[in-house]
């Protein structure tokens, strides 16, 4: 067992770990961000690239972070320091900064989700694009953001993981079932075909478009919660019985399924209900415009399903927010030796303050999202594969510890990607990003 303090010991069972990691991975990124990125990235080409990024590069990055976390038994700064030495400490700090930034604007979007859950009770607006414009920025968006930050901070402050884990244990499958139901309903809509062809028929030119490749990689990594210390921190609570490759594949499958199903609802609905104009005007709002429009069409049933849907999404968002705040709090506790309570209050207050900006301006939100996902997350992911592939002693033995005979077969391939393919690929992506930013 890695040397973790008893208060940090966490996962007794395999499902406990997989669900916590999946709880972090599955969130607003899968539904809100995936649909808006796919809309912006031209639909199907983006989706194909996203799938490739998730399984070819994302799984190896996640496995690297599991290796780093389990080997070190520490949160990111300590993990990088103990395994890589002082040179690596800045990468650890990046893993504290990035979650703070992401938490700040994710909380704004969770605020929108809460708002829609409340709307469901009184009935969704028949003008979904107008409604979105109304609630997405300004004083009420700030208020809802602060409420959500308060809830997140309170949960992490008290260290109650059991409550939220239990709730997500129920609501995650509920979200999945509702999604499948919505997929079937969307399929029945006249005019949905155009949505499917936008979402599922790739044009081959865009497959080679560097900016779409870059966006798809950032989306895959953000959605998997890699590059931000979360998986390192969670894996620091793992024992040697866990099969790291299998866990990485399971979490990624779960994460991918939710995003993919979400797209199977959002795009047919957008096309069938003629919402592409509205969505085009605010791609950030793609999900929040199309889904309520679907519920309005369903009448009273839509209100009930809508309430459950947005509530489940809220919980999915909350489990991700908790993991983001937890990394920062664990790092404050480990590095500055603050108590859990103080760390939570300070980190929560910083994220709440930073979030006021995106709550007032959708373009600020878009910029924060771009910088965090395309630079911080990608740089963090590069750090993870380099450390696991090149600095850590005998990473292969860590991957082989606890491995099942089935997954033992993919370990050499995984290691190859971790050492060569992933670092080269991620470095190229980062280069494109920097080049575009300069231009």
- Which residues of this protein are in contact with ligand PFF, per CB under 6 A? 24-25, 27-30, 99, 102, 222-223, 225, 228, 230, 320, 323-324
Nearer to ligand PFF, 259 or 264 (CB): 259
**Residue nearest to ligand PFF as judged by C-beta position:** 29
Nearer to ligand PFF, 129 or 164 (CB): 164
CB of 27 to ligand PFF, least distance (A): 3
Nearer to ligand PFF, 192 or 319 (CB): 319
Nearer to ligand PFF, 136 or 252 (CB): 252
CB of 107 to ligand PFF, least distance (A): 12
CB of 250 to ligand PFF, least distance (A): 15
Residue 57's closest CA among 439, 307, 422, 434?
422
Nearer to ligand PFF, 196 or 311 (CB): 311
CB of 409 to ligand PFF, least distance (A): 28
**Which residue shows structure tokens 């029945």?**
188
Return the structure tokens found at 306: 């809508």
CB of 319 to ligand PFF, least distance (A): 9
CB of 228 to ligand PFF, least distance (A): 4
Nearer to ligand PFF, 24 or 192 (CB): 24
Nearer to ligand PFF, 264 or 296 (CB): 264
What is the distance, to the nearest Å, from the Cα of residue 277 to the centroid of all Cα atoms in its chain? 27
CB of 194 to ligand PFF, least distance (A): 27
Return the structure tokens found at 161: 């993981």
Return the structure tokens found at 314: 């809220």
């Amino acid at each position: 067992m890695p040397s973790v303090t008893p208060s940090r010991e966490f996962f007794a069972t395999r499902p406990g770990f997989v669900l916590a990691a999946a709880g972090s991975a599955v969130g607003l990124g899968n539904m809100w961000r995936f649909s808006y990125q796919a809309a912006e990235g031209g639909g199907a080409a983006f989706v194909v690239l996203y799938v490739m990024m998730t399984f070819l590069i994302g799984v190896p990055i996640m496995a690297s972070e599991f290796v780093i976390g389990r080997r070190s038994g520490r949160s990111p700064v300590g993990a990088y320091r103990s395994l890589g030495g002082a040179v690596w400490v800045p990468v650890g700090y990046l893993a504290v900064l990035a979650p703070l930034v992401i938490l700040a604007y994710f909380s704004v979007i969770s605020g929108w989700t809460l708002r829609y859950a409340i709307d469901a009770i009184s009935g969704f607006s028949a003008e979904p694009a107008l409604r979105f414009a109304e609630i997405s920025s300004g004083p009420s968006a700030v208020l809802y953001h602060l409420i959500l930050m308060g809830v997140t901070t309170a949960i992490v402050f008290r260290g109650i993981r059991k409550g939220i884990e239990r709730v997500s244990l129920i609501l995650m499958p509920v979200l999945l079932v509702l999604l499948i139901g919505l997929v079937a309903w969307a399929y029945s809509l006249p005019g949905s075909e155009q949505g499917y062809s936008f979402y599922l028929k790739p044009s081959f030119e865009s497959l080679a478009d560097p900016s779409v490749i870059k966006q798809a990689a950032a989306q895959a990594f953000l959605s998997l919660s890699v590059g931000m210390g979360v998986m390192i921190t969670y894996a620091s609570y793992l024992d040697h019985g866990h099969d790291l490759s299998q866990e990485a594949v399971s979490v990624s499958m779960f994460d991918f399924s939710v995003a993919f199903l979400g797209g199977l609802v959002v795009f047919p609905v957008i096309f069938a209900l003629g919402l592409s104009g509205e969505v085009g005007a605010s791609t950030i709002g793609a999900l929040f415009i199309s889904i309520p429009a679907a519920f309005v069409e369903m009448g009273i049933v839509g209100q009930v399903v809508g309430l459950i849907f947005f509530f489940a999404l809220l919980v999915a968002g909350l489990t991700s927010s908790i993991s983001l705040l937890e990394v920062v709090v664990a790092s404050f506790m480990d590095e500055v030796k603050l108590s859990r309570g103080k760390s939570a209050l300070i980190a929560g207050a910083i994220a709440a303050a930073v979030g006021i900006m995106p709550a007032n301006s959708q373009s600020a939100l878009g910029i924060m999202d771009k910088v965090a996902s395309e630079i911080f997350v990608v740089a963090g992911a590069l750090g993870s594969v380099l450390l696991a592939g090149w600095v850590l002693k005998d990473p292969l033995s860590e991957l082989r510890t606890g491995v099942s005979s089935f997954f033992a077969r993919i370990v050499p391939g995984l290691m190859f990607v971790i050492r060569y393919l992933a670092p080269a690929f991620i470095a190229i992506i980062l280069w494109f990003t920097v080049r575009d930013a300069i231009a």
